[in-house]
Amino acid sequence: MTTLTCRDGAALLMDYLEGTLPADVRADVDAHVAGCPRCVEFLRAYRETPRILRESTDFEIPESLVESLQRFLAARRGK
């Protein structure tokens, strides 16, 4: 029987999601999560956080900056 707590599980989440935990530790996390709705929901949010932030910061280079970069580099290269 596992003695893993939610706090212990939270500390291992990155390794857990990437599949890099030792098999016995992974089994402990699996056993805890299977009986812990809080960890199921926390895991869901932890996993989605990078996606939400990635999609919210998908900056495109402004056309004006493409032109000013060309001018800047041409001047420094003596063109």
Task: Give residues with Cβ within 8 angstroms of 5, minimum separation 6.
Answer: 32
Closest to another protein by CB, 24 vs 76, is: 76
Task: Give residues with Cβ within 8 angstroms of 26, minimum separation 6.
Answer: 16, 19
Closest to another protein by CB, 27 vs 68, is: 68
Closest to another protein by CB, 5 vs 27, is: 5
Amino acid at 15: D
Which residues are at the interface with another protein (CB under 8 A)? 5-8, 10, 13-15, 37-42, 44-50, 52-61, 65-66, 68-70, 72-73, 76-77, 79
